[in-house]
Amino acid sequence: MSRIYTIVSQGHSQEEPSESMRNYSCPKCGTAKTRLAPRRGVTDRLLSTLTIYPLRCQLCTHRFTTFLGKLKANPRRNYDRVSVQYPAQVRPVHDPSQRVVVEGMLSNLSLRGCRVLTSQRIPMGCQVMLEFHPAEYDDPIMVDGALVRSHSAEGIGLRFSSLLRSEERRLRRILDLRLPDHAI
């Protein structure tokens, strides 16, 4: 007589993208690089009682809502920042001589902003241009317009306000390689 044994595989199962995982992907561009977005306004609050939360696509900025089925705290950031180490130069736009150049190191990056480690000071709210050199590319990436949004002992935080489409495409490729899938 032979016995039938059921072998339970432990941790070797191939992970199939489940239905819910597909719901977390961006309906506009299809990427899995999405994250839970901050909730704002009455509609978001009402939907959140049903665990329907807003998500933000990290590559095309599309915002959409999806059913999660579990409670989640309200996040503060719309965009995940990836850690990088790229040489960077920051130039205040309204410097008539265009000679003031702040040299630093880009330490993190998203589609909408970054942090530059530098000992030099630029005032809050100052309009700047940013140039940084990713290891992946021969040419540096130029950000036409950015705003100094925060200061710390180590450097400055920038929010991008204007970016050429070609530069945004290159930036997106860097993020696509480094961002986690479904940061929920």
- Interface residues toward Zn ion, by CB under 5 A: 26, 28-29, 57, 60, 62
Q: Report in angstroms how near the CB of residue 134 gets to Zn ion at its nearest.
A: 21
Decide: helix, strand or coil at residue 78: coil
**Closer residue to Zn ion (CB): 111 or 114:** 111
Whole-number Cα distances in Å, 173 to 113, 118, 159, 169: 15, 26, 19, 6
* Nearest CA among 123, 118, 114 for reference residue 143: 114
**Closer residue to Zn ion (CB): 26 or 156:** 26
Beta strands in the chain (DSSP E): 34-36, 52-57, 63-67, 82-92, 102-109, 113-117, 127-132, 141-151, 155-162
Q: Report in angstroms how near the CB of residue 33 gets to Zn ion at its nearest.
A: 8
**Closer residue to Zn ion (CB): 31 or 89:** 31
**Closer residue to Zn ion (CB): 81 or 172:** 172
Q: Report in angstroms how near the CB of residue 175 gets to Zn ion at its nearest.
A: 11
